[in-house]
Amino acid sequence: MRELPPHPDAAEAIGALREAGLGVVTLTNNLREVAEDQMRNAGLRDLLDGVYSVHDAGLLKPAPETYQHVLRETGTAPGDAVMIAAHDWDVAGAAAAGMRTVLIARNGEIPLPGHPEPTWTVPSLRATAGALTTGPAR
């Protein structure tokens, strides 16, 4: 995990989010130390405002408490936060915590039936900043 390369559009997408005035943090089921190394090795750490682990919250994602922990740590209201994820279970957990959500639906992937529909669905991480600055759409 520490050497896992980022998606090719990750740095560009994070940069676009930051240029739009948005803060960017990560939340992982991995240990924080592993995530910190992964972000550093991928060349992304300096673009992030924080790296969070569910281990700090004491529950794995998609438990809403994990997302609420990060919201408390960052002083962010749930309605002001957006979870960007490529997993529909991450979207479900963030939605249960009161957050808006983006599902990165690479290759036309769709949420599993019974999971909450994301606020936005985009085909790539690169498309996320545009979606967030133009308003909700599916």
Say what the pLDDT of residue 137 is. 46
Say what the pLDDT of residue 135 is. 61
Say what the pLDDT of residue 54 is. 96
Q: For residue 108, is it left (φ>0), alpha (ψ between -120 and 50) or beta? A: left
Q: What are the chain's domains?
A: 10-133 (3.40.50.1000)
Residue 33 CA: distances (Å) to CA of 42, 54, 55: 14, 12, 11
The partner residues of 28 in beta bridges, in order of sequence, read 53
Mean pLDDT by 10 residues, the chain (138 residues): 79 93 95 95 96 95 96 97 93 96 87 84 90 67
Say what the pLDDT of residue 74 is. 97
Tokens read off for 70: 């990060």
Say what the pLDDT of residue 133 is. 79
Residue 11 CA: distances (Å) to CA of 20, 59, 62: 14, 29, 25
In 3D space, the residue among 133, 125, 101 whose CA is nearest the CA of residue 42 turns out to be 125
Say what the pLDDT of residue 56 is. 92
Say what the pLDDT of residue 114 is. 81
